Chains A and B, each alone.
Chain A
Amino acid sequence: MNGAFDPKRWWPAPLLPLGDARDLTLLFVVAALSFLAGLAAIAALASERAAVGWRSELAGSATIIVRAQGAETPDAAALRAVVAVSGLRGVGEVRALEKAKADQLLAPWIGADALPSDLPVPRLVTVELDPKTPATGADLDRALSAAGVDATVDDHSRWSAEIMRAGVIERNVALGLFALLLAILGAVISFATRQGLAARREIVDALHLSGATDGFIARLFQARFARSAAQAGLAGALLAAAMAAALKLTGAGQGLTALLPIAWRDLAAPAPFPVLGALIAAVVARTTATAALKEVP
């Protein structure tokens, strides 16, 4: 085929030359930022899920510590506590732990052999709560007081609040990291735009002298850097998703995935970075180029 009839030869070539080594460096940096941002986003979702899971586990139960009164045996006191709270609205299964279980819980502090057999060890009663309308610690307290049982109710609310607070902090740190990486991307693009304008000054001059407006030239850089950010951002995001998938597949239920329970849908979390990155790159490249071009006569 005669080249003169090849349509591609008549299609206008890009006014800015195609990528060189500088562009490759930029692509690598943007891909790395996208990879880190993607991991941060996945970690944010997973930590949120872990916090919610732990909290729901704690919120679904309460523990009653029962102390025997007078000549009453601990087992009898525990039985009275079970009777007192069973049947309350928002209460499911109620179970008194055997003495052996109570001893086992004390063993780490006192030692298994140092515990006298006649020591009135408080009995523990576990209460499963209705997940929809759980009874509160105050409800249980009232029922136990009415039955004359000397007991303390632990509804885990203190731990639950701590876990929630930790979860919120983790999520905010991850989101802050995500935002920081986007800000770094903006700074990198701004630097690259100024470098690009300086390196291609001859082209910029030729375009100016041919009647190009500052906006026309700025748009060339805007399109170039937005496209680069989108491409490199996509590569980094895919890599982050692949790494998260590998973590999930190789460490299910153990190690890192036990602390950060990754769900398959979390793998979509890095998706916003290429889009946001391209938008930020477009805005930053445009404003940087427009400002820099004003310095050109």
Chain B
Amino acid sequence: MSRKAIVSEVSAADPTSPQSIVRFEGVSMRYGRDPEVLTDISFELPQGAFYFLTGPSGSGKSTLLKLIYLAERASRGRIEIFGQDLALLRRKDRPFMRRRIGVVFQEFRLLDHLSCFDNAALAPRIAGRKPAAYRADVADLLAWVGLGDRMHAMPPALSGGEKQRLAIARAVINRPDLLLADEPTGNVDEAMGLRILRLLLELNRVGATVLIATHDKDLVVRSGKPVLHLEAGRLSPYPGQAPDLDE
């Protein structure tokens, strides 16, 4: 995608577009009385988009993701997810929105007392599906992420790469409309990183909107996908070349 196109998608989104999956308008965020972590963020992710979210450590990437997956509330501004204004979203409706969002956490957040299979099956189980209804899907997905022979292993026994792939499997088992990943290749070698990228691209190809927070410059370059770049809590239009991810 060309630089012009990227800038266009990021900064000039149509506010009335019904296809918008994520939409930020003048969003700012601070924790307590601390300085703002995010300042006046505005962007839109159209349906089926695949974006990277880059920026130096402390630039607000994780906070931005938290705002999207409803783990934090914005201090200012307006956020719409799937066309729903989060400020108007009732607490009892939040779980149902979360079920449409898959999240791969930087620190995995796997449940150590559950096997790989049960971790991956968490979302359908919570959604009330019977084991017989999701058993084959989970097994297939674990095989797809290369954990077919580790289904009954417990997370503490997994390598970093295996945990990462399990976290991805857990995030995508319910075929989310929006997939968020925070440093999904941060704990794996280059080969595994490419394998995970292919997984994410495949999910995007089948319809999921994807936003990946990463420091991995090679991943961004290899994918050729557009970038949302954060600097000191402000969104910067992509400058025309791969951002300096080593800052």
Q: Which residue of A lies closest to B93 (CB)?
A: A213
A206 touches B152 (CB 8 A): no
Q: Which residue of B lies closest to A213 (CB)?
A: B95
B131 touches A12 (CB 8 A): yes
Q: Is A22 an interface residue (CB 8 A)?
A: no
Min C-beta distance of B68 to chain A, whole Å = 12
A9 touches B152 (CB 8 A): yes
A-B contact count (CB 8 A): 66
B99 touches A209 (CB 8 A): no
Residues from chain A with Cβ under 8 Å of B113 in the complex? 13, 17-18
Min C-beta distance of A12 to chain B, whole Å = 6
Closest 7 A/B residue pairs (Cβ): A211-B99, A17-B113, A211-B98, A213-B95, A212-B126, A211-B95, A210-B123
Residues from chain B with Cβ under 8 Å of A206 in the complex? 109, 111, 122
Option from B92, B118, B125 in Cβ contact (under 8 Å) with A213: B92
Q: Is A203 an interface residue (CB 8 A)?
A: yes
Min C-beta distance of B30 to chain A, whole Å = 15
Cβ contacts A170-195/B at 8 Å (1 or 0 each): 00000000000000000000000000
Cβ contacts A12-25/B at 8 Å (1 or 0 each): 11010110000000
With A and B bound together, what is the CA distance between A212 and B174 in angstroms? 13
In the assembled complex, 9 residue pairs joining A and B whose CB atoms fall closer than 8 Å, in A order, are A4-B151, A4-B152, A11-B131, A15-B122, A207-B126, A208-B95, A209-B103, A213-B95, A216-B126
Residues from chain A with Cβ under 8 Å of B114 in the complex? 13, 15
Interface bracket on B: 20 to 34
Min C-beta distance of A41 to chain B, whole Å = 38
With A and B bound together, what is the CA distance between A214 and B126 in angstroms? 11
Option from B69, B71, B118 in Cβ contact (under 8 Å) with A12: B118
Q: Is B4 an interface residue (CB 8 A)?
A: no
B126 touches A209 (CB 8 A): no
Q: Is A109 an interface residue (CB 8 A)?
A: no
Which chain A residues have a beta carbon within 8 Å of chain B's beta carbons? Answer: 3-4, 9-13, 15, 17-18, 202-203, 205-214, 216, 294, 297
Q: Is B218 an interface residue (CB 8 A)?
A: no
A12 touching B95 in the complex, CB below 8 Å, given contacts A17-B113, A202-B109, A212-B126: no
Min C-beta distance of B95 to chain A, whole Å = 5
B152 touches A297 (CB 8 A): no
A209 touching B118 in the complex, CB below 8 Å, given contacts A9-B152, A13-B113, A216-B126: no
With A and B bound together, what is the CA distance between A203 and B127 in angstroms? 16
Option from A212, A213, A297 in Cβ contact (under 8 Å) with B71: A297
Residues from chain A with Cβ under 8 Å of B71 in the complex? 209, 297
With A and B bound together, what is the CA distance between A212 and B92 in angstroms? 10
Q: Is B117 an interface residue (CB 8 A)?
A: yes
Q: Which residue of A lies closest to B132 (CB)?
A: A10
